[in-house]
Amino acid sequence: MSRVVVVGLAGPSCSGKTTVALNLIKLFPHTVVIHQDDFYKPDSQIPLNDTAGVQDWDCPGSFDMEKLVADIESTRLRLEGIDGTDSVGDLRDHFASQWANPPEDIDKLIPTTVIDGMRHWIIQDLGIDSADQIPFCIVLVDGILLYHDDNDAVRHPQSALDIGLFIYASYETLKQRREARSAYATKEGVWTDPPGYFDSIVWPNFVKYHSGMIKAHPCILADDAAAAPGSSNVSVCSSDVPAKDMLAECVGAIVSEWRRRME
């Protein structure tokens, strides 16, 4: 039985993935986070959107998907072969090079008391004495294009994932968050969204490349903030609900996957 759970944490830009990822690390200490943003191609290779006349950073062709899948699989194999947590820390440091700056209020979004309560629940549910005794490692893959419509031209990230949480938010919420952000560090410099980028690239691409997910879960475009049952091994949750509810959804999915393996 594998002792590594590979979790896809997906959703559109500014949907709240970083908030969930940073708090999952607090709850599951044996976690390595792989950020899809680290697999962007060099700036000069980012495709041009002919309609908008600007580079398109939100399409599958902007990422080195082959390398992403290979790194997910190699990380799983390395974690399967280690005994102890030192190597987990080494791997975590290896993949942390370009993690986007976390929100300044990250520790206020989910109070410490809530985190402590979730940790206590995990420990009790797993029948252990402390979080350090959690019997599995997690590879947490964070990105905007993990569960997009399949493309036979490249290896699909979903093929390397065990379970997933797809986080969405309303158009208004996503636009407000994206336009409040400043520049993004890239492989060869800095990218700043030109005026109208969200409406011409970010939102249309999200809808275009997730038609299958949206068809399975109409709530994604219906401004419905309720959590929805997942399709296959993917749970769907809105970040328009409190951050603690998003986190609880992901924690529950991870623990349930481990329980399933133990049956």
pLDDT of residue 32 exceeding 80: yes
Q: What is the pLDDT of residue 15?
A: 92
| Alpha helix positions (H), the chain | 17-27, 65-80, 86-94, 106-109, 112-126, 171-180, 197, 203-209, 211-216, 243-262
Joined tokens for residue 57: 């950073």
pLDDT of residue 107: 62
> What is residue 262's predicted lDDT score, i.e. its pLDDT?
87
Strand, helix or coil for residue 55: strand
Task: Determine the average pLDDT of the residues in 6-19.
Answer: 92
How many CB atoms neighbour CB 2 within 10 A?
A: 12
Alpha carbon distance 37, 58 (integer Å) = 10
CATH code for the domain of 77? 3.40.50.300
Instruction: Label residue 155 by pLDDT band (50, 70, 90).
Output: confident
Residue 95 CB contacts under 8 Å (≥ 6 apart), including other chains: 32, 33, 34, 35, 38, 71, 75
pLDDT of residue 83: 59
pLDDT band at 230 (very low <50, low <70, confident <90, very high): very low
Q: For residue 123, what are the domain limits?
A: 4-262
**More confident position, 72 or 229:** 72
As a whole number of angstroms, the distance between CA 95 and CA 72 comes to: 11
Please give the structure tokens belonging to residue 78: 């390395």
Q: How many domains does the chain have?
A: 1
* Contact (Cβ atoms closer than 8 angstroms) between residue 55 and residue 46: yes
The CA dihedral of 142, 147, 148, 152, to the nearest 10 degrees, is 110
Work out the percent of the chain whose per-residue pLDDT is above 70.
84
> For 158, how many CA atoms within 13 A lie in the half-sphere containing its CB?
20
* The Cα angle at residue 82 between residues 81 and 84, in degrees rounded to 5: 155
Residues 87-128 pLDDT 10s: 555 555 545 444 445 555 566 778 899 999 999 999 999 999
What is the pLDDT of the chain when averaged over all its residues?
A: 85
pLDDT greater than 50 at residue 56: yes
What would the two tokens of residue 13 be? 């830009």
Q: Which of these ranges, 1-15, 19-33, 223-237, has the smallest mean pLDDT?
A: 223-237
pLDDT at 175 over 90: yes
Q: For the segment 203-220, what is each residue's pLDDT rounded down to a tens digit? A: 999 999 999 889 888 888
